[in-house]
Amino acid sequence: MVLLNTERYKWPIHVGSILLLALCCYSPVHGDCNFTSGNAKEVKMEYSSSIIDHEYIVSFNGYYKTQTRKRYLTAALHESGVPSWKILPRDNPAYDYPSDFDVVKLNDGKKEALDALENHPVVKRITPHKKVTRSLKYVKDPDYPSEDTKTPKDLNSCNKTDWQQTFTSSRTQSRRSLSLSATYWHSPNRHRSRNLLRAVPKQIVSALQAEILWNMGYTGAGVKVAVFDTGLAENHPHFKRGKIKDRSNWTNEKSLDDGLGHGTFVAGVITSSKECLGFAPDADIYVFRVFTNNQVSYTSWFLDAFNYAILKKINVLNLSIGGPDFMDHPFVDKVWELTANKVIMVSAIGNDGPLYGTLNNPADQMDVIGVGGINFENQIARFSSRGMTTWELPRGYGRIKPDIVTYGSAVRGSALKGGCRSLSGTSVASPVVAGAVTLLYSAVLDRSHVINPASMKQALMASARRLPEVNMFEQGHGKLDLIRAYQTLRTYKPQASLSPSYIDLTECPYMWPYCTQPIYYGGMPTIVNVTILNGMGVSGKIVNKPEWQPYVPQHGTHIEVAFTYSSSLWPWSGYLAVSITVSKSAATWEGIAEGQITLTVESPPEYDEAEPRRTELRLPVKVKIIPTPPRSKRILWDQFHNLRYPPGYFPRDNLRMKNDPLDWNGDHIHTNFKDMYHHLRSNGYFIEVLGSPFTCFDASQYGTLLIVDAEEEYFPEEVTKLKRDIDNGLSVIIFADWYNVSVMKKVKFYDENTRQWWMPDTGGANIPALNDLIMSLGMAFSDEVYEGDFMMGDHD
């Protein structure tokens, strides 16, 4: 693929012109910059999911015994006349308990069967059954030199991890260079120059001062912690006798043991009592083996295991695994149900950094503690995924994630047979937080009535130490501070809170990207998506409506604020989307404007309380306003026609990535195109984001419409309007990746699980739709595919 380096190209924008750029598909694959000498291994976690042909998860509105569920399904499918179907058996520890779902295989009459099931009164939802593949690859961490770690010889084959799946990664590798080269922050030379100064602690618990709580008598006792991973040996020497309360296998393999070492390491960081110490050695540990030795899992395995965790009344659950699939509704719904039952879930944010917009699910959910990674110099680890969340695209804007960060580079933990090893990754940072949460929980057991997923998350965020010169989409609320979190929990009173707790569009770099561009009259609304955390109860609501209160002496009347917000807060959380625009009175004014948003959150009374619980919240707002820039300096980015999450097989822009064909990430000017954003801003342009159809903007206000790698179709009304806008002086620049039917046939792949060929729905971009858009101009993209460099005028 020919990557457009926006640092090299300066586009002369002429009124009423159109520029078409077809970016072809082949790109030199850079060497693995993650590999240097040393023993600290980085866990490169690659993820994929595929739909299993003919298999469906049927979710019910409640929990029913096996025979009752079978009667419901039989009644529904008998009426549809479907001759061939069956309920797939699930042989696991949850079999004897009531369940809220079944896995059904439909061989014939699929449409009729699905219609019949959807119309049944007890059926909540029907979704395709998915297979999840995770590939762990241990590579040497360039952030850290060699250290003496005891790793058993029988782990060598595990550490190599040579296996490959049909397709594995879900993250865009082709645009990684956009962020890797963005700043000195990620420079390989920078890391290398610091190796001699680095002091890596032998015990991760010492780095976070866990000994202070241990000396107070708190060691995790009385807390149930679950590890969803690859299993754990029954008699591993690092765990106290009797503290492994339950080991359960949810896979189709007949084993409870860990064949890979990842689950053992994670469990050790949380509860190990020897050599490489964990945070809560006296906690009760529950081991859920949800991945096979081939690193395969199914949505149904997780659903059964999650139900079992609820039955066992688990307090803390660590999930060091994840993927981009926030559209896997049964999984997402079950996570909500878990947290609604007061299970505090801690999950890794992902190892797809430094690219932005690469958060993993479920760590990107509001009710889950999403954890990013730092090294022992308090720098954001280059592998740690960055925000924003992408659920809200294309019409809205993402939320802050991760929630917090902690040490995830060269952390020592339990090896498979004993001894210690060092690993890096957010799958390492996650159990650090899970272990800390388990320890904190045990330290406030006398106040357990106020401890829940929201209150624990509030305490962690309120006590976190903000890292300097790091933005909110990299660090969230900052670095975990165990002792401050304990002090916060000791005095905690049930309350609601906001994340972020203020909006300051002048504060750089923390409030990036908001702080990099002032606002002005006539611009697209600036949207800030605020998370509401409700520690008062699992459910709640916003009373009346949020209210905007301008600070008159601080020119607050120059801005207008609108809101959308959750009709109900469940579980433990909701959202407040704030839309900020400049009033007409400030069209030529420049200065700082301030005000505040006030709202009241209410939850039902608890225990013997007579009155509802209430919290009055205040959200300060501060913005910089400038006179409206000239039309020639205003660029409109088309977000509306970029898919946030592909509904089918959308191939990569970079076809050299044979093991990574699926394009999961939605493009955005503040995520994978943030270098383009910085380049345009540094050259004096103002970039606004369009989250609605072309019929919704006034083209006379903009010099250029920027369409990048669009996948969606265009309405006929949009085609007509764009032609009229161009005739009236609007310039259009279109960047489009490859589209070639012959190439699309070549990149089809056979999925062993579904036993079918997957054909791309389109190429790297939807060229037919783009050609429909510009047909009236007598222009079109070709389907030729090239490899190499190109020149634009005097720029090479």
Instruction: Give how far Cα 81 sits from Cα of 59, 77, 125, Å.
Output: 21, 7, 21
CA distance 485 to 312: 27
Is 238 an annotated catalytic residue?
no
Q: What is the DSSP string of 343-357?
A: -EEEEE--S-TTSSS
Contact between 321 and 349 (Cβ < 8 Å): no
Count of C-beta atoms within a 10 Å radius of residue 574: 23
Q: What is the DSSP letter of 359?
A: P
Q: Identify whether 325 is a catalytic site residue.
A: no
Give the Cα-Cα-Cα angle 678, 518, 533 (nearest 5 degrees). 90
- At 150, the amino acid letter reads K
**498 conformational bin, left if phi > 0, alpha if psi -120 to 50, beta if neither:** beta
* Three-point CA angle 318, 335, 75, nearest 5°: 135
CA-closest candidate to residue 358, choices 384, 382, 338:
384
Helix axes 110-118, 66-80, angle to 10 degrees: 120
558 is catalytic: no
Distance CA(359)–CA(645), nearest Å, equals 13
Phi, psi of 686 (to 5 degrees): -115, 125
Q: Residue 175: what are its φ and ψ, rounded to 5°?
A: -110, 15
DSSP classification of residue 37: S
Residue 62: helix, strand or coil by DSSP? Answer: strand
Question: SS3 letters for 79-145?
Answer: HHCCCCEEECCCCCCCCCCCEEEEEEEECCCHHHHHHHHHCCCCEEEEEEEEEEEEEEEEEECCCCC
**Pairwise CA distance, residues 18 & 688, whole Å:** 19
Catalytic-labelled residue, pool 236, 262, 555, 670: 262
Q: Which of 174, 427, 463, 731 is catalytic?
A: 427
Cα(578)–Cα(597) distance, rounded to whole angstroms? 9
> Residue 243: exposed, middle, or buried by beta-carbon count in 10 A (0-12, 13-18, 19+)?
middle
Query: Among residues 100, 141, 143, 229, which one is catalytic?
Result: 229
CA distance linking residue 654 with residue 27, whole number of Å: 6
The set of residues, in sequence order, having a beta carbon less than 8 Å from that of 337 and lying 6+ positions away, is: 306, 310, 571
Classify residue 447 by its DSSP letter. G
User: Which residues belong to the active site?
Assistant: 229, 262, 427
